[in-house]
C-alpha cells in the first residue's frame, strides 16, 4: 500500500526551496523571521533539523525519547566554511528527501516517539509534522524577507486533517493553518496564543491495535475508501462508513475530539483492519459516555469485538470524570448482546426494541 505523506513532504520542500531561492543573495542573519525570535538563517536551519529528526525517529523506531543526535550547518568543527543561504536550502532539500524516504520504507503499523499528545506518531503523522514545519517556517522567513508565499492548499489541508483535528475548517486551509498556529486571524474566532499539534491515539489489547481515526481517514472511509488500512476481505462494514461520516461532520463543525471519536480495530499479527469501535461523543455532565462498534463480516466470531470493547471501555473509565460507559443494542441482535455481557456490561433497561447496558467505574 502506498505510503501516504512521502510525496507531500517532497512537494512542500520543493515549494519552500523555490520560494526562498529568490532571496539567497540577501542577508538572512540580520533579519528576524516573522513573529519568531530566530533570524531567517536560524529558522531555515531549524527546518532542516526537524526534517532529519523526524526521519531519524521513524527510521530508528525510537520508542521512549528522541534519537540523540543533531545536525549543524556551521561546519567550523571540520574546518569547513559555514553553509551559505543556497547551501542551507540544499540541506533542507536533502533532509526532506531523507524524511520522504523514511516515510516510504516504514511499515504502516510502526509508531515512534513524539511527545504530543500520546507519546507516539505514525509515519503519516511524522510526514504531517515535517510538512507543517516546512510550510510554517517558510512563511516566517518569507514574512521576514518581505516576499509573498502561499503553499498549495492540498498541503495545508494534509496537515490540518492529520495533526490539527480540533481546528474547525476555515475559509481556506492555509488561512486556517496560520490561525491554528498563532500566525493569523479568522473572522469570528479568538486569536490562538498557545498550540500543539495532535497525533492520533492508539490503544493496544492482546491481539488488536485500536487506532484513532483522523479527519483524513474519516473522509476517505465515508467515501467508500479504505482509510489507508489493509482490511480483511469483506472490508469496512456499513456501520463503519456511517460512523466515519458522522465524525467528518463533527470535524467540519469544530467539535471533533480525537480521544472520544472512532477507532479502527487492526489485527496486530497481520496488520489487517477488522472493524471499528468508538464513542458517540464526549462524556456528558454526569460522566456518561456511549460506545458503539461494527465488525467486518468475515472477522466475526473470533472475539475481536469483546476484546476491543473491554480495552476501550476500561480506558474510558480511567479518564477524569468518567463514571459510566453505556451501550445500546437491538433486542434482535443476540451476538452483539453477548459481546457486551462478555465485556462486563450489565443490562439496565429495555424499551422500543432496544436494550441498554452499562459498565460502571
CA distances from 96 to 48, 55, 164, 248, 287 (A): 7, 9, 22, 31, 45
Asked if pLDDT for residue 77 goes beyond 70, the answer is: no
Q: Looking at residue 292, what is its pLDDT?
A: 97
- The average pLDDT across 38-45 equals 97
Asked if pLDDT for residue 40 goes beyond 70, the answer is: yes
Asked if pLDDT for residue 74 goes beyond 90, the answer is: no
Asked if pLDDT for residue 1 goes beyond 70, the answer is: no
Q: Which helix (H) or strand (E) holds 294?
A: strand 288-295
Q: Name the residue among 202, 210, 309 with its Cα closest to residue 266.
A: 210
Q: Looking at residue 241, what is its pLDDT?
A: 97
Please, which pLDDT band fits residue 300 given cuts at 50, 70 and 90?
Answer: very high
Whether 6-180 and 202-360 share one fold: the answer is: no
Strands (E), 59-177: 111-112, 121-122
123-145 and 6-20 helices, crossing angle to 10°:
10
Q: Looking at residue 79, what is its pLDDT?
A: 56
How many Å is the maximal CA-CA distance in the chain?
A: 80
- The average pLDDT across 160-166 equals 98
- The average pLDDT across 113-121 equals 96
- The average pLDDT across 156-185 equals 98
pLDDT in tens, 271-298: 999 999 999 999 999 999 999 999 999 9
pLDDT in tens, 51-70: 999 999 999 999 999 999 99
Q: What is the mean pLDDT of the chain?
A: 96
Q: Looking at residue 80, what is its pLDDT?
A: 63
Both ends of the chain: CA-CA distance in Å? 40
Q: Looking at residue 73, what is its pLDDT?
A: 86
Q: Looking at residue 54, what is its pLDDT?
A: 98
Q: Looking at residue 82, what is its pLDDT?
A: 80
What is the share, in percent, of the chain residues with pLDDT greater than 90?
96
Domain boundaries, the chain: 6-180, 202-360
Quote the CA–CA distance of 160 and 176 in Å, as a whole number: 8
pTM: 0.96
Pick the CATH number of 202-360 from 3.90.660.10, 3.40.630.30, 3.40.50.300, 3.30.590.20: 3.40.630.30
Question: Given this structure, which CATH class describes domain 6-180?
Answer: mainly alpha
Amino acid at each position: 500500500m502506498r505510503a501516504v505523506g512521502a510525496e507531500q513532504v517532497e512537494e512542500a520542500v520543493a515549494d519552500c526551496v523555490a520560494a526562498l531561492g529568490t532571496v539567497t543573495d540577501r542577508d538572512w542573519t540580520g533579519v528576524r523571521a516573522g513573529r519568531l525570535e530566530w533570524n531567517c538563517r536560524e529558522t531555515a536551519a531549524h527546518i532542516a533539523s526537524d526534517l532529519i529528526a523526524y526521519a531519524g525517529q521513524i527510521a530508528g523506531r525510537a520508542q521512549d525519547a528522541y534519537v540523540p543526535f543533531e545536525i549543524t550547518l556551521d561546519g567550523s568543527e571540520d574546518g569547513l566554511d559555514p553553509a551559505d543561504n543556497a547551501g542551507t536550502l540544499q540541506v533542507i532539500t536533502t533532509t526532506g528527501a531523507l524524511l520522504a524516504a523514511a516515510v516510504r520504507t516504514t511499515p504502516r503499523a510502526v509508531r515512534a516517539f513524539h511527545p504530543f499528545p500520546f507519546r507516539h506518531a505514525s509515519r503519516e503523522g511524522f510526514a504531517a509534522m515535517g510538512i507543517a514545519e516546512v510550510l510554517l517556517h517558510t512563511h516566517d522567513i518569507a514574512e521576514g524577507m518581505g516576499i509573498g508565499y502561499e503553499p498549495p492548499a492540498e498541503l495545508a489541508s494534509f496537515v490540518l486533517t492529520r495533526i490539527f483535528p480540533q481546528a474547525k475548517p476555515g475559509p481556506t486551509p492555509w488561512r486556517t493553518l496560520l490561525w491554528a498556529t498563532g500566525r493569523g486571524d479568522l473572522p469570528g474566532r479568538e486569536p490562538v496564543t498557545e498550540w500543539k499539534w495532535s497525533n492520533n491515539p492508539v490503544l493496544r489489547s492482546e491481539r488488536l491495535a485500536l487506532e484513532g481515526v483522523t479527519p483524513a481517514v474519516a473522509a476517505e472511509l465515508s467515501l467508500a475508501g479504505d482509510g489507508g488500512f489493509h482490511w480483511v476481505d469483506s472490508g469496512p462494514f456499513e456501520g463503519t462508513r456511517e460512523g466515519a461520516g458522522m465524525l467528518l461532520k463533527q470535524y467540519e463543525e469544530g467539535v471533533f475530539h480525537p480521544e472520544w471519536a472512532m477507532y479502527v480495530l487492526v489485527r496486530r499479527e497481520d496488520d489487517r483492519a477488522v472493524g471499528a469501535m468508538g464513542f458517540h461523543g464526549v462524556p456528558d455532565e454526569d460522566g456518561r459516555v456511549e460506545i458503539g462498534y461494527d465488525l467486518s463480516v468475515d472477522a466475526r466470531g473470533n472475539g475481536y469485538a469483546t476484546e476491543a470493547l473491554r480495552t476501550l471501555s476500561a480506558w474510558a473509565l480511567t479518564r477524569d470524570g468518567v463514571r459510566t460507559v453505556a451501550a445500546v443494542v437491538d433486542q434482535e441482535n443476540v451476538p452483539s448482546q453477548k459481546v457486551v455481557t462478555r465485556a462486563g456490561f450489565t443490562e439496565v433497561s429495555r424499551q422500543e426494541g432496544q436494550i441498554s447496558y452499562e459498565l460502571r467505574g
